[in-house]
A and B are shown apart, each in its own frame.
Chain A
Amino acid sequence: MTAFIFRRLAALLPMLLAVTLLVFALMSLAPGDFLTPVKAQRDINPALIAELQKSFGLDRPWYEQYVRWLGNVLHLDFGYSWTYKVPVAQLIAQRAPATILLSLTSLLLAWALAIPLAVLAAARPGGWIDRLTSAAAYFALAIPEFFLALLAVWMAARTGWFPIGGLSSLDHDFLSPFGQFLDIAHHLVLPTLVLGLGGVAGTLRVLRANVLDVLRAEYVTAARAKGLPERVILFRHVLRNALNPLLSTVGYAFAGLLSGSLLVENVMNYPGLGRLVYEAFIREDQFVVLGSVVVGCTLLIVGNLISDLALAWSDPRVRYGR
């Protein structure tokens, strides 16, 4: 098992190299750089621009910049953000928890809603719960996340029930710990709903199919023959086995949430990684982009690894080795 974990983590390195190289090369191909808006201002001394260019390393060819960055990363120095004038690592450490928090709550919402609904739907295929949830899932999967986010912001602005954006109120620092918790929870409601809805629908469809599959197994017939109540059969025997394939997709679901949150964060003004990456891309703040790409890919791979481990833990037949 340890060897398996190490092998998976080792596979991370070539991938990170390839992705950062690709992203950096593509960004350098783009016309202009971080200093282009500065150059466009007429009252700035060309000597100052040349100096800035030199200090940013923008006067070197792109591959040299990349190799330099790579060399610094070996010393755990991810460069610093030209926009915010702080180290990239610090910036990401500030933003990443918000995104991870949002992804976790969305995943939690998806599971909390989808699991009971899927089991109930599959218990009577073709029944009204089944038909209703299937239709709702079909519809939910067709709604673009950013459209849903727009609707949510509009609703918040109209009714005032929820904050329009952000993660905390202005007076957050003056609240009691419990008040701070409530404040953040209040801010999280809408983004979680928006980001979680697609997850609910997707999980529901997969899980319903799994439950239907498992219901055909012989041990279910045996349990029924023993006279166990249907509720116990469904939730203790069937659900446990039906959840296994779902566990292996958690990693991908998490990755999907990371991508999806980029759009949602931008619409809902949520201070997470997605908005940071987007703004960095627009301003060509290259070290922030590279750092975020590294964090994003690492989260994805670690997420997949954890879901594989969870699968092995829940299903004794799954063994990683060799």
Chain B
Amino acid sequence: MAADLIRTLLRRPAGMISAVLLFFLYGAALLAPFLSPTIPSAQDLKRTYHPPTGLVWQKGKLCVRLYKLVDPSTATYEPLPGQSAPLQWFSKGASYKLLGMIPSDRHLFTVATPACIYLLGSDATGRDVFTRLLYGSGISLGIGLVGVALTSILGLTIGGLAGYLGGWTDSLAMRLTEFLMAVPGLYLLLALRAALSSRLPSDATFLMIVVILSALGWAGTARVVRGLVLSLRERPFILAANILGQRPWTILFRHLLPNTFSYLIVAATLSVPGYILGEAALSFLGLGIQEPASSWGLMLGQAQDIKIFMLNFWWLLTPGVAIILTVIAFNLLGDALRDAVDPRFRLPGK
């Protein structure tokens, strides 16, 4: 069934485009340490607010142009005419752990030390924006997936139980969802963020943001799953399972909930952007991912620096463009999935 689904999906142009785009985005996020020429915390205080370095083809090699700092106070750099340094492919550089476990020190490309390569320029402390963007994508994209997985599990369990058991479980769960949906989300977000301590290591911050966003986001899923379970409960095959004497838990988890999966897949895909945007908003306000780690929201927040504003606008654009691309890709994929999965499930609202 899964293979069928993927085939129908890829036959649609929207599905194909979004799948390819997401494949590249997540691939880049996974291989970030290898693809980036340096590590995100590497500073160079002599090259702050560096403009993007130009690439030229010289002596049969791809080379990076060299720059000279003309005026440190306005961060004006001028390219040195005719001078360049060749890129080194698969060269040794700063050591890292790929996927968090494979130690390595190979980078796709670097340049020899006096030269530097800033594909997207450098920030206030001379760190490479391109590297930080790649590393940040791991966090921003990861939060989307983990958050949606957590929300789906929460929504499925709570909605399924509420619909199947009925009675006071149902009313309690539904009042809770109504409450969550009626309160302005950002207020609760800020309150939850205040409650969970701000001095946490970056892994814990990541988890905390996911937990906060999921705790606020499961209500919609739970309500729809409950509705689906309520209607499925009356179908003949559930009656048959009842007559066969299957236990309630078996019926719920083996027969009822799997029938909500096709809705759940679509809803989950369409809600990934919400998590990515949520993380970006939190980090943007300085309440999410903290330095020295990087995320797209954090980078955009740092772009509010007036110097970057006037000098190095690239740095501002790239994480925003990355967010927009990702959100569009997930929305396209979700719409294509909805058409492919089952036309019976029409999502409420959209």
Query: Bound complex: CA of A205 vs CA of B331, how far in Å?
Result: 14
Residues 272-288 of B, flagged 1 when their CB comes within 8 A of A and 0 if not, give 01000100110011000
- Cβ of B277 and Cβ of A144 under 8 Å apart? yes
- Residues of A241-282 at the interface with B, using a CB-CB cut-off of 8 Å, are 255, 258-259, 262-263, 266-267, 277-278, 281
Which residues of chain B come closer than 8 Å to A15, judged between CB atoms?
179, 182-183
Query: Bound complex: CA of A289 vs CA of B186, how far in Å?
Result: 12
Q: Say yes or no: is A13 at the interface (Cβ < 8 Å to chain B).
A: no
Which residues of chain A come closer than 8 Å to B320, judged between CB atoms?
143-144, 147, 150-151
- Residues of A1-59 at the interface with B, using a CB-CB cut-off of 8 Å, are 15, 18-19, 22-23, 25-27, 29-31
Q: A144-B323, A157-B310 are in contact. Are A297 and B184 (CB under 8 A)?
A: yes
Q: Which residue of chain B is the closest to A158 with respect to CB atoms?
A: B310
Q: Say yes or no: is A301 at the interface (Cβ < 8 Å to chain B).
A: yes
Residue among A25, A26, A263 with the highest chain B CB neighbour number at 10 A: A26
Q: Say yes or no: is A196 at the interface (Cβ < 8 Å to chain B).
A: no
Instruction: For the complex formed, measure the closest distance between the CB of A264 and the CB atoms of chain B, giving whole angstroms.
Output: 11
Q: Say yes or no: is A76 at the interface (Cβ < 8 Å to chain B).
A: no
Residues 165-189 of B, flagged 1 when their CB comes within 8 A of A and 0 if not, give 0000000000000010011111110
Instruction: For the complex formed, measure the closest distance between the CB of B138 and the CB atoms of chain A, giving whole angstroms.
Output: 19
Q: Which of B122-130, B190-198, B227-235 is the interface stretch?
A: B190-198
Q: Say yes or no: is A146 at the interface (Cβ < 8 Å to chain B).
A: yes
Query: Bound complex: CA of A25 vs CA of B350, how far in Å?
Result: 35
Query: Bound complex: CA of A18 vs CA of B350, how far in Å?
Result: 30
Q: Say yes or no: is A139 at the interface (Cβ < 8 Å to chain B).
A: yes
- Cβ of B186 and Cβ of A259 under 8 Å apart? yes
Which residues of chain B come closer than 8 Å to A300, judged between CB atoms?
182-184
- Cβ of B187 and Cβ of A263 under 8 Å apart? no
- Residues of B320-350 at the interface with A, using a CB-CB cut-off of 8 Å, are 320, 323-324, 327-328, 331, 350
- Cβ of A263 and Cβ of B284 under 8 Å apart? yes
Residues 304-327 of B, flagged 1 when their CB comes within 8 A of A and 0 if not, give 100001100100100010011001
Q: Say yes or no: is B162 at the interface (Cβ < 8 Å to chain A).
A: no
Q: Say yes or no: is B87 at the interface (Cβ < 8 Å to chain A).
A: no
- Cβ of A142 and Cβ of B184 under 8 Å apart? no
Tally of A-B Cβ pairs under 8 angstroms: 100
- Cβ of B323 and Cβ of A281 under 8 Å apart? no
- Cβ of A146 and Cβ of B300 under 8 Å apart? yes
**Chain A interface helix/strand/loop/mixed:** helix
Cβ-defined partner of A27 (8 Å) among B194, B280, B303: B194
- Cβ of A30 and Cβ of B331 under 8 Å apart? no
Q: How large is the interface on B (under 10, 10 to 19, 20 to 34, 35 or more residues)?
A: 35 or more
Which residues of chain A come closer than 8 Å to B316, judged between CB atoms?
150, 154
Which residues of chain A come closer than 8 Å to B190, judged between CB atoms?
277-278, 281
Query: Bound complex: CA of A262 vs CA of B189, how far in Å?
Result: 12
Which residues of chain B come closer than 8 Å to A141, judged between CB atoms?
327, 331
Instruction: For the complex formed, measure the closest distance between the CB of A235 and the CB atoms of chain B, giving whole angstroms.
Output: 26
Query: Bound complex: CA of A301 vs CA of B182, how far in Å?
Result: 8
Query: Bound complex: CA of A15 vs CA of B310, how far in Å?
Result: 46
Q: A138-B328, A281-B194 are in contact. Are A266 and B285 (CB under 8 A)?
A: yes
Instruction: For the complex formed, measure the closest distance between the CB of A17 and the CB atoms of chain B, giving whole angstroms.
Output: 11
Q: Say yes or no: is A284 at the interface (Cβ < 8 Å to chain B).
A: yes
Q: Say yes or no: is A293 at the interface (Cβ < 8 Å to chain B).
A: yes
Q: Say yes or no: is A296 at the interface (Cβ < 8 Å to chain B).
A: yes
Residues 89-112 of B, flagged 1 when their CB comes within 8 A of A and 0 if not, give 000000000000000000000000
- Cβ of A30 and Cβ of B281 under 8 Å apart? no
- Cβ of B300 and Cβ of A26 under 8 Å apart? no
Which residues of chain B come closer than 8 Å to A262, judged between CB atoms?
186
- Cβ of A144 and Cβ of B194 under 8 Å apart? no
Q: A141-B331, A144-B280, A157-B309 are in contact. Are A284 and B187 (CB under 8 A)?
A: no
- Cβ of A296 and Cβ of B187 under 8 Å apart? yes
Q: A143-B324, A281-B190, A281-B191 are in contact. Are A296 and B309 (CB under 8 A)?
A: no
Cβ-defined partner of B195 (8 Å) among A26, A138, A266, A296: A26
Query: Bound complex: CA of A300 vs CA of B273, how far in Å?
Result: 24
- Residues of A214-261 at the interface with B, using a CB-CB cut-off of 8 Å, are 255, 258-259
Q: 7 extra interchain contacts, Cβ-Cβ under 8 A, other than A26-B192, A143-B324, A259-B187?
A: A19-B179, A142-B323, A142-B327, A147-B323, A255-B184, A284-B194, A292-B187
Which 6 A-B residue pairs are closest in the complex by CB-CB distance?
A142-B327, A26-B195, A147-B320, A29-B195, A26-B191, A30-B194
